[in-house]
Amino acid sequence: MRYAILLACLLAAACNTHQSALAPFGVEAGETRTLTLVMALAALGLAAITFALYFRAVRAPEGSLSHKGGMKLVLWMGAIVPTVLLAGLLLYALPAMRPMDSAPGDLEIRVEGEQFWWRVIYNPQDTQGRLVDANEIRIPTGRTVVFTLAAHDVVHSFWIPGLAGKMDMIPGRENRLVVKATKPGRYRGVCAELCGLAHALMAFEVVAMEPVAFDSWLAEQRTGTAAPPKDSRGARLFAREGCGACHAIRGTEHTGQIGPDLTRYAHRRSLGAGTLEPTLTNTAAFIRAPQDLKPGARMPTYTDLSREEALAIARYLKGRE
């Protein structure tokens, strides 16, 4: 009993609605959950029938079944019925292998896995509508979205458990994942392929929005919201330390591509690809010593910066000057 309670507690600890294939917010994940349930129930049913047959066979008195009757039982219950049932389940499961259909006008989002963060590009083909962001993906509900998945360094895997199955990101290749979200909300995705030291700290936030809200959000981002003040202490330090060699901030001279785009950093819900709360103090601490907070992170340490200077940069990035 004690073990049963312990087990129940352990299992319950995994219950959540923001990162779970059992709490779907997308069409594919919903279908996969139904499929899993049907398969599990069918397996339970088959096991129950088999046990019932065993139970009967063991308790039946000797000679209660003739040789011919026994052969018939083996033929039907051992071969024909299982084959037909398994064929039925197979036919029921196979259509789930089909990728979702997409049309030319569907929103395309290119996601590139990097050690150990995510580059997100909305409308990558369209020079006007292109929008670069990092570590957060916004999608409209009720519309088909095509993810183009790529990588440059090593193999990563893109997995939003509540939305769809995972898909690998392979250097030198582009994989497509077509999805459709159904329920607005904030969810979480992760890297599902061991990709290095900080692999376990490589997550991202997924925001499913009502289509209208999404459209106005994207339009607003494109036309460029007010750029952060260029002439503040934080801005000067950011430029002086050469952060712009790796980080881009739209509307400034910083256009680095090696690290995450920091334009929308103030709006992000996480720091270091889902590792920490993006508070001012955490951000400042991360800037001075990324390795301490996210071992393996590919950003140099800036211990020369005083705490106070790092805070100034953090304030600048958070748009709080």
Partner 1 sequence: MSDPAPRKWEHRLRITLWVLIVPPTSWAAHFLFSYLWAAISCAKTGHFATMPWLFIGGTVLALAVIALAGWVAWHQSRTPGDPPPHQESTRIDRLRFLATATLLLAALSTVGVIFTALPVVFLRECT
Residues that bind partner 1 (CB under 8 A): 67, 79, 83, 86-87, 90-91, 94-95, 97-99, 175-176
In whole angstroms, the minimum distance from the beta carbon of 26 to partner 1 comes to 19
Site string for ligand HEC, 109-148 (x = CB under 6 A): -------xx----------------xx-------------
Interaction of residue 312 with Cu ion, rule CB under 5 A = no
Going across the sheet that includes 156-159, the strands are 136-140, 203-209, 185-191, 156-159, 167-169
Interaction of residue 246 with ligand HEC, rule CB under 6 A = yes
Which of partner 1, ligand HEC, Cu ion, none interacts with 198 (beta carbon under 5 to 8 A by kind)? ligand HEC
Question: Within 13 Å, how many C-alpha atoms sit on residue 243's CB side?
Answer: 26
Smaller CB distance to ligand HEC: residue 28 or 309?
Answer: 309
Interaction of residue 283 with ligand HEC, rule CB under 6 A = yes
In whole angstroms, the minimum distance from the beta carbon of 240 to ligand HEC comes to 9
Which of Cu ion, partner 1, ligand HEC, none interacts with 195 (beta carbon under 5 to 8 A by kind)? Cu ion
Interaction of residue 169 with Cu ion, rule CB under 5 A = no
Report CA-CA distances (Å) from 297 to 114, 157, 286.
Answer: 10, 18, 10
Interaction of residue 271 with ligand HEC, rule CB under 6 A = yes
The answer to whether the beta carbons of residues 195 and 119 sit under 8 Å apart is no
Interaction of residue 259 with ligand HEC, rule CB under 6 A = yes
Interaction of residue 263 with ligand HEC, rule CB under 6 A = no
In whole angstroms, the minimum distance from the beta carbon of 25 to ligand HEC comes to 23
Which of Cu ion, ligand HEC, partner 1, none interacts with 208 (beta carbon under 5 to 8 A by kind)? none
Which of Cu ion, ligand HEC, partner 1, none interacts with 79 (beta carbon under 5 to 8 A by kind)? partner 1
Of 156, 180, 250, 298, the residue at the interface with ligand HEC (CB under 6 A) is 298
Which of Cu ion, ligand HEC, partner 1, none interacts with 191 (beta carbon under 5 to 8 A by kind)? Cu ion
Interaction of residue 298 with Cu ion, rule CB under 5 A = no
Strands 167-169 and 185-191: unpaired
Where along the sequence are the contacts to Cu ion (CB under 5 A)? 156, 191, 195, 199, 202
